Every structure is written in structure tokens, then in C-alpha cells.
Structure 1
Amino acid sequence: MIELTGVSFWYHGQAEPVLANVGATIGEGELVLVAGRTGAGKSTLLGTVNGLVPHFTGGHLEGRVAVAGADTASHPPREFAHLVGVVGQDPLAGFVTDTVEEELAYGMEQLGLSPPVMRRRVEETLDLLGIADLRHRALRQLSGGQQQRVAIGSVLTMHPPVLVLDEPTSALDPTAAEDVLATLARLVHDLGTTVLLAEHRMERVVPFADRMLYLAGNGTLVDGPPAAVLRDMPIGPPIVALGRFAGWEPLPLSVREARRQAGPLREALPAPPGDPADPVVAPVLTGRNIVVRYGSTVAVREVSLDLHGSTVLALMGRNGSGKSSLLWALQGSGPRQGGTVAVAGSDPGRLPSAQARALVGLVPQTAGDLLYLSRVADECAAADRESQAAPGACRDVLDRLAPGIDPDAHPRDLSEGQRLALVLAVQLTAAPPIMLLDEPTRGLDYDAKSALATTIAVLAAEGRAVVVATHDVEFVAAVADRVMVMAEGEIVADGPAREVLGGSPAFAPQVAKILGPDWLTVADVRAALPQEAR
């Protein structure tokens, strides 16, 4: 179905190719996972499949890419619309209508399908993805995860034989991600759809994948079964890291396979350490009976919480549960129709924006929304002025978070991890005692997430309160002291990370599912296991 023969690609102005003599043949009805670090060329590889690379991006392409026998070099991308459905990283950027139902129908209208067919497919897709209740909602009023599901649905309605998805589950809660991946698997097995997807959270996708394509970052490609490719990859999901550490053979790719080999390791583990005591110091932020409404929809329903210094709180819950609305209400920039927020005796929502940022910093889901200048150096200088900090203060923070970023680089040209580090540096220049991060791991590979985890640990060690709203259970297991779960605008669980994550079938990390609820990460296991038992 897809043939890549001797494919090399250079972006304009780059001396080294992003793809170097890449070759692969993907057959009908295969689900193929594309993996690699940020910047390795995953999105570029996906873009070659329907001709967006190089027809839209520019650059120089050598070799041949063909889909169902049609060569992308001799056909414009529009001629592949009926063959290849594409879901990009930023769903909002791809929307062309105003409401969910209109967006699901738009692609079919362009293909000239009859109204009865369109109506039937819209209904099928609404049910398939569990978004029937969003039918008449405005796209811009949806949460990031809801937008992601609509973007996938708008492609599925056209029934293309090839689906190309770039980070399709990055904004989805664990249950929704499983639903989407199960849907893709059904398309593969029942309809013979060929699915090519790039995903950093490999723990979600590996059990579904028939093959893996690993881009090493030097333009080369490794192609093979997931177990064979993962064995030698420098990055991998927690289950693979645990399997390598324990010396399991064959290397497990699913919790079921791992549990069958985990008995001796469970027996070797000592009693788990107890949870840390609750802070006895006064909270740095107090929120009481917070209410956020959008029209008749109640997003946050009389939520009360305390944030303590030197503590990392993870805010979790399904898409649309109110996490982002709560963060914006705490920071003061978002709407709040009821309740109070107090930081150092002041309400951030009643202060000028500069003073509010000095109390509570917030990094939104799309971190780049806070960047508006054309050079990294200009962003840092503006942050210094707005925060009344000494010249160079923002750059010093940035160098601690992500050293080596070119000051003349355009912020939009940075990797996701570098862009996040820049926005963090801008926010931290104001030295707020509280930092709120909304889905900070979207688009980050395992190495970048590890660097972010180290940054968050440093912030907590400096005495700051850090709140991370995320669907990434593995990241939460690594960084959080406390976990709060929201549903329909209310707090339904609040406690130590081990207690909340370990006892939840939806939010338990892979290690907890394999070894029991007392163990959340491979690092926990390494630290607890006696040296002689390793």
C-alpha cells in the first residue's frame, strides 16, 4: 500500500538530510508505529506519504514515495485526499468549520458524497469515538483532548484506505486513548485500513503495532517487529525498561506478558516505603468553592484546594473534566464566577497581569501561545523588562533548563522541549512561588520528559508549589507527590500519588500493573531492590 524507495529529504538551508536513503514497504491492513526522539524526522516521514513533503513544506526530496501505486512526486496532495487521511499534531490548526458535526461532514462534502451517506457516517463516527454529546458544540470551546478526537473523526468519516496520524493520543486521557487505539485496531483488522502513526507515548501503542519504524536521528531508519526494534532502542516505554532491568526473555510488550515473568521480581522486592507525611506548614495558595461556567455549562463546581510549597500536585481526569479551567481560575487570567483564591493575602484575579504572574505562573497547553517575538533573545529580554528583573535573568534560567539554545533562533523553529523550556524560563523570571503547567508533556519524547521531570524537582526543591495537569500517567508517577482526580468539575480523589495511582485501573502506570500498586516506576524498583538480588 505504501512504498518508500531510497527516500532522502533536506529542508532548505540544512546541510544534513532529515531522511537518508530510507526504504520501507507497508502492506494493506498493517498498523505501523513510527518512533524516535523529538526532531528525528517522524513528522517529515509522515508528510511524505501524501505529498505534503515536499509540495507544501518545500525542501529537496530524492527517491520515490508511492501510495496504492500513485507517486507523490507527480501528484499534488489534493489528489491523495481519497487515499490518505491525515491527523496532525495540532487539531485546532486543521479545523475549517465551527462545530463538531460540520467538521465531521466537511471532508465528505469535498469528496462529493451524497447527504444520506454523510449523515450515516457522521452518526457512526460520533458513536465510534464517544463524542455524540459534542455534536453541536463549537470546536474552539472543546478541551484539547476533545478536539483531538474530533480531528480523528473528521478523517475517519472519509473511509480512506490509509490513515496517517501524528501524536493521535497526546491530548487524550488514558481511557479515551485506549478507545481511539482500539478503534484504529478495528479498522485495521475489520476493514484492512493501513495505519501509520507517530507517538511518543509508546506504552500506549506498542501492544497494537504490527511493526515499528525507528528513526535514529541521523536520517537512518530501523524497520522490524516491535520486540526486535525496542531491544536495541535507546528510548522505550517503562515496560521495556523494566524488562531490560529484570533480564526478562523474551522482552515483554504488554502488561499480560510481563506479569507472567514478574513473579521472582515481586518476591525479591522489600516492603515499600511509606508515603510522606502531609505538609504541616501553611499553604502558599488557598482556593475555596471555585466555580467556573461557560454559558450553561459548569466546568468547575465549587472546588476547594490548598497548594503547599515544595510539593508537586498532579491534576488528572478525563478530557473535559475541568482541569484547564481550574488552572486558569487559580492563576487569575481565566473566568471565575464564584469562590475565592488567595496567594500571600491577594487574589490573583483582582491584580494587574504582571502582578498576578509574580504570584502564579502558568504554562498553557500550547506553550507557544505565550511567544510572540521573532528571536529567543527578544523573548528573554521582554521577560526581564516585564518582570523588572536584571538583564539576563531569563536567559540564565533558560540555560539551566535547556542549555545551548541559539539566541537568534525563532521560537517557532525550536523543538517542543526547547519551546517549553523557553516559556518556563519566561514565567520563572517573575519568580512566582506557584507554577501551573497544563499538559506540559505533549510532543515530548522520553528524554525530554526526563529533563522536564528534573526541572520540576528543582522547582519543588526551591520551595515552589508545582501543579501539573496531564493525562500522562507515567510522567505523574515519576514527578508527583500528590494526585488529584477531577470528574465533571468536581474533585473525586485526592491523596498521595502511590495511593491514587496504584489503586486505579485507569491511571495506574505500567510498573504498578505488573508488580502491584506499591511500585510506580522502574526507578522505584531499582532503588528498592537489594544489590545482591539484582
Structure 2
Amino acid sequence: MIRFENVSVAYRDAAAPTLTAVDLHVPEGEFCLVVGRTGSGKSTLLRAVNGLVPHFTGGTLTGRVLVAGRDTRTHPPRELADVVGMVAQDPQAGFVTDSVEEELAYSMESLALPNPVMRKRVEETLDLLGLADLRHRPLATLSGGQQQRVAVGAALTAHPKVLVLDEPTSALDPGAAEDVLAALHRLVHDLGMTVLIAEHRLERVAQYADRVVWLPGGGLPPVAGEPGPVLADAPVAPPVVRLGQLAGWEPVPVSIRDARRLAGPLRDHLAEPPAVSTPKTVELLQAKDLRVRYSTVDALRGVSLSVGAGERVAVMGRNGSGKSSLLWAVQGTGKRSGGEVAVDGVDPASLKPGPRRKAVGLVPQQPADLLYLHTVGGECAQADRESDKPAGTCREFLDRFAPGVPDDRHPRDLSEGQRLALVLAVALTPSPRVVLLDEPTRGLDYPAKTRLAGALRDLADDGHAIVLATHDVEFVAEYASRVVVLADGEVVADGPTAEVVTASPVFSPQVAKVLAPQPWLTVADVRAALAAAP
């Protein structure tokens, strides 16, 4: 169905080709997962399938890409629209209508399908992706995860033979992500659809993949094969694979079920992890009875939150539970319908922009909203000046998260992960007392997330308070000291990470699922315990 024949892609002024010597065949009815470090060329590979590369993006493509027998060199994207459905990293950028139902119908209208067919497919897609309650909602009022489900649905309604998805679960809560991936799995197995998907949260996707394609980058050709062996050799792999390597399991498992079948001896060898004590800290952030209402929707219903200096708090909950509304209300520029916020005794809403940035730094779900200059170097230099920091401070943060991003690169030409890393660096440059992050791991690979965890841990150790809203349970397990769970705008759980996440099958990390009932959270924890065992 999809065939790459010695394909290389090079962009103007780039030091090296983004893709090199790609020979790949994805047959009909296969679920193919593309993995690699941030900036390794995953998005370029996916966009070459529907002709966006090079017809829209520019650059030079050598070799040949065939989709259902059509050569993308002679068939631009509009002539592949009936064959290939595309879901990009940023769903908002692809929306062309105002409401959920209109967006689902748009691709079919473009293909001139009859009205009865369109109506039937819209209803099927609403049910398939759990969007029926949102059908009349304006797209602008949806959460990031809800928008992502709509983008997947809009691609599905055209019934393409090939579905290409770039980070489709990055903004979805664990339950919604599982629903979307299970739906894609059914389409592959029941209808023979071919799915090509790039994803950094491999713990969600790897178990569904028939094949994994690893892009090493650096001018090296891709490596393709069975999920277990390929992921075991790649620098990006889900925790269950790393746990299997640590325990010496063969073959290396990629699913929780397969790992649990092998985990008995390891569970017997491990003792219960030591209890983690939470020291008392000086209260830095206090929010009391926060309420946020949008039209007829109550986003927050009397939420109270206290965070001490040095605390690392993760706010979790399904899409639309109020996480982003909470962060914006705390930051001071977001809507508040009631309640009080104090950072070091001062309400951030009463401060001017400069002092507010030093009190509270916020990285939003759409990080590009904070970028307005033409180069990476310009953004870094401006952040240093506005924060009264020595030149190079912002650049140092950026290199911790995404090393090697050129100073002369335009921010819009960066990968999603690189762009997020730049915004993180800009937000952290003033060393704000309270750091708020909304889905900070979107587009970041596992090594980049580990670096992010280290940088945030250093800030916490220096007395800053960190609050992050996230669906990334593996990052929470590695980094957070405390978890707050929201549901329908209310706090339903608040406690130490190990207690909260292991009590929930939805928010539990892979290691905890494999080694249950013992409450181990990360591969690093298990490795340290094995090293210390007699």
C-alpha cells in the first residue's frame, strides 16, 4: 500500500538530509509505528506519504514514494485525498470549520459524497470516538484532547485506505487515548485500513503495532522490524521494554500482558519499596475556592490547592476536567469567576507582566503562542533581556531540553518537540517562583523528558514550586512527588504519587502494572533495588 524506494529528503540550508535512503514497504492492513528522537524526521516521513513533502513544504525529495500505486511526485496532495487521511501534530492548524459536526463532514463534502452517506458516517464516527456529546460544540471551546479526537474523526469520515497520524494521542488522557487506539486497531483488523503513526508515548501504542520503523537520524537509514527487537535497540522505548531488558526477558515484551507472564520471579526477588516521607515545606502557592465558568460550562467548581516550595505537583484528569483552566486561573491572566490566588502572599493577577513572569511562569498547551520573533537566537536573547539574566541563560536551558537547535532557525520550522523546548526555556529564564506547565511533554522523546525532569527537579530543589497538568503517566511516575486528580472541575484525589497512581488502572504506569501488587513506579527504581539487593 505504501512504498518508499530509496527516498531521501533534504531541506534548503540544512546541514544534512532529514531522511536518507529510506526503503520501506507497508502492506495493506498493517499498523506501522514510526519512532525516533525529536527532530529525527518522523513528521517528514509521514508528510511524504500524502505529498505534502515536497509539494507544500519544499525541499528536495529523491527516490520515489508510491501510495496505492500513485507516485507522489506526480500526484499532489489534492489528488491523494481520497486515499490518504492525515492527522497532523497540531489539530487546530488543520481545522477549516467552526463546529465538531461540520468538521467531521468537511472532508466528505470535499469529495462530493451524497448527503445520506455523510450523515451516516458522521454518526458512526461520533460514536466510535466518544464525541456524540460534543457534536454541536464550537471547536474553539474544546480542550486540546477533545480537539485531537475531532481531528482523528475528520480524517476517518472520508474512509481513506491509508491513515497517517502524527502524535495523535499527545493531548489525550489515558482513557481517551486507549479508546482512539483501540478504534484504529479495529479499523486495521476489520476493514484492512493501513495505519502509519508516529508517537513519542510508546507505552500507549507499541502493543498495537505490527511493525516498528526506527529513524536513527544523523544520515543513517531507518531500521524496520518486529516491535520488540527494534525498540530494544532504539534509544526510545517504553518502560515495559526497558524493564524486560533489565530482567533479561526473552523475547522482550511490548505489552503489559506479556510482561506479567514473565514477571513472577522478579516480583518474588524484589522487596516492597521503601516508604517515601514528604517533608513539610513553606507554602508558596495557595488557591482557594477557585471557580471558572465559560457560558454554560463550569470548568472549575470550587477548587482549592496549596503547593509548598520544592513541591512537584502533577494535575491529572480526563480531557475537559479543568486542568488548563486551573493553571490559567492561578497564573493571573486567565478567567476567574470566583476564588483567590496568592503567590508569596501576592495575587499574580494584580502584577504587571514583568513581575508576574518572575512570580509565575506558564507554558501553555499551544507553546507557539509565546513565540513571535523570526529566529531561535532572537527568542533566547529577548528572554534574557526581559528577565535581566546574563546572555546565554535561555540558550543553556534550551540545550538541556533539545541540544543542537540552530540559532538562525525560524521557530515555525522546528519540530513540535523542539518548539516546546524553546518555549520551556523562555518561560524558565526568569526563574519564576511558581512554574506552571500545561502538557509539557508533548512532542518530547524519552531522553528529552528525562532531561526535562532533571531541570524541573533542580528548580524544585532551589525552592521553586512546580505544577504541571499532564496525561503522561510515565513522566508523572518519574518526576512528580504529589498528584492531584480533577474530575468535572473538582478535586477527587490528592496525595503522594505512589498512592494515587497505583490506586487507578487508568493513571498507573507500566512498571506498576507489571509488578503489581508491589507499588514500584519506574525502571530506575527497580534497577536501584536490584543493585542494592544481596
TM range (shorter): over 0.9
SS in 2 for 1:22: strand
- How far off is 1:221 after superposition? 1.2
Q: Does 1:45 align with 2:50?
A: no
Checking the alignment, whether the CA contact within 8 Å between 2:401 and 2:448 is kept in structure 1 is no
TM norm structure 2: 0.96
Question: 2:236 maps to what in 1?
Answer: 235
Distance 1:392 1:262 in 2: 47
SS in 2 for 1:444: coil
One-letter code aligned to 2:270:
L
Checking the alignment, whether the CA contact within 8 Å between 2:367 and 2:420 is kept in structure 1 is yes
Alignment: residue pair count:
532
Question: 1:458 maps to what in 2?
Answer: 458
416-425 or 512-521: bigger deviation: 416-425
Checking the alignment, whether the CA contact within 8 Å between 2:400 and 2:452 is kept in structure 1 is no
Checking the alignment, whether the CA contact within 8 Å between 1:33 and 1:212 is kept in structure 2 is yes
Distance 2:44 2:401 in 1: 27
| 1:160-184 C-alpha deviation (Å, 9 max, x unpaired) | 1110111111110110000000000
Question: 2:264 maps to what in 1?
Answer: 263
Distance 2:281 2:266 in 1: 39
Distance 2:183 2:339 in 1: 41
Checking the alignment, whether the CA contact within 8 Å between 1:33 and 1:206 is kept in structure 2 is yes
- How far off is 1:451 after superposition? 0.9
Distance 2:3 2:400 in 1: 44
Checking the alignment, whether the CA contact within 8 Å between 1:40 and 1:219 is kept in structure 2 is no
Question: 1:275 maps to what in 2?
Answer: 276
Question: 1:521 maps to what in 2?
Answer: 522
SS in 1 for 2:107: helix
| 1:379-398 C-alpha deviation (Å, 9 max, x unpaired) | 23322343344555444554
| 1:223-277 C-alpha deviation (Å, 9 max, x unpaired) | 1111231232222110000000000111111111111111111111122111223
- How far off is 1:423 after superposition? 2.2
Distance 1:300 1:401 in 2: 32
One-letter code aligned to 1:527:
A
- How far off is 1:427 after superposition? 2.2
Question: 2:492 maps to what in 1?
Answer: 492
TM norm structure 1: 0.96
Question: 1:8 maps to what in 2?
Answer: 8
SS in 1 for 2:267: helix
Checking the alignment, whether the CA contact within 8 Å between 1:230 and 1:240 is kept in structure 2 is yes
- How far off is 1:513 after superposition? 0.2
One-letter code aligned to 1:252:
P
- How far off is 1:7 after superposition? 1.3
| 1:88-132 C-alpha deviation (Å, 9 max, x unpaired) | 000000000001010000010010011111111111101110011
Distance 2:333 2:48 in 1: 41
Distance 2:42 2:268 in 1: 41
Closer, same or farther: CA 205–309 of 1 in aligned 2, 3 Å: same
Checking the alignment, whether the CA contact within 8 Å between 1:333 and 1:353 is kept in structure 2 is no
**Can you give the 5+ residue segments of structure 2 that lack an aligned partner in the other structure?**
none
Question: 2:289 maps to what in 1?
Answer: 289
One-letter code aligned to 2:511:
V
Closer, same or farther: CA 471–224 of 1 in aligned 2, 3 Å: same
Closer, same or farther: CA 105–400 of 1 in aligned 2, 3 Å: closer
Q: Where does 1:86-485 land on structure 2 (aligned, <5 Å)? A: 86-217=86-217, 218-277=219-278, 279-389=279-389, 392-395=392-395, 397-398=397-398, 405-485=405-485
- How far off is 1:73 after superposition? 1.0
Distance 1:490 1:481 in 2: 21
- How far off is 1:408 after superposition? 3.3
Closer, same or farther: CA 200–397 of 1 in aligned 2, 3 Å: closer
Distance 1:4 1:531 in 2: 49
Checking the alignment, whether the CA contact within 8 Å between 2:247 and 2:266 is kept in structure 1 is yes
SS in 1 for 2:105: helix
SS in 1 for 2:75: coil
Distance 2:343 2:151 in 1: 39
Percent identity among equivalent residues? 63
- How far off is 1:404 after superposition? 5.1
Distance 2:90 2:479 in 1: 26
Distance 1:4 1:400 in 2: 34
- How far off is 1:71 after superposition? 1.0
Distance 1:401 1:72 in 2: 35
- How far off is 1:62 after superposition? 1.5
